[in-house]
Amino acid sequence: MNILFHVPELSRVVPCLNNALNYLKAVDTNADKLRIVFNGNAVNSLVDKTESADQWKDLAKKYNNIQLDVCSNSLRGMGIVTESLIRPVSIVPSAILTLVTLQNEGWIYLRP
């Protein structure tokens, strides 16, 4: 199963982190793929050396089936340079295009 989490607001970062972690604990973690798409002011949660960024980094290290995607439009709008983001993070040109494409491919959309 492929699960797509959408995080467009900073206030939804912790609930998404908790949802992803709870899901991974409940299933065979190697069988499912999770992509978490950040846009809007939620991109601030991936800036290195912030509490939430450290939590995302730890989660991505623990589970190799998680991909963290961040919208380049939102980064530009928030004035965040890609060098300040945690690794591993994938920069996508447009969050909306990524969300629509993945849903069209059968990914299950969740917005915590």
Q: What does the pLDDT look like over 33-81, one tens digit per residue?
A: 999 999 999 999 999 999 999 999 999 999 889 999 999 999 999 999 9
Boundaries of every domain in the chain = 2-25+32-110
- Tell me what pLDDT residue 32 has: 87
pLDDT (0 to 100) of residue 14: 96
Percentage of residues in the chain having pLDDT higher than 70: 96
Averaged pLDDT, 81-110: 97
Residue 27 has pLDDT above 90, yes or no: no
* DSSP collapsed to 3 states, the chain: CEEEEEECCHHHHHHHHHHHHHHHHHCCCCCCEEEEEECHHHHHHHECCCHHHHHHHHHHHHCCCEEEEEEHHHHHHHCCCHHHECCCCEEECCHHHHHHHHHHCCCEEECC
Residue 25 pLDDT class (50, 70, 90 cuts): confident
φ, ψ of residue 74 to 5 degrees: the values are -70, -40
Could you tell me the fold of the domain covering 2-25+32-110? Hypothetical Protein Ychn; Chain: A, (3.40.1260)
Q: What is the mean pLDDT of the chain?
A: 94
The model's confidence at residue 29, banded by pLDDT at 50, 70 and 90, is low
Q: List the beta bridge partners of residue 68.
A: 36
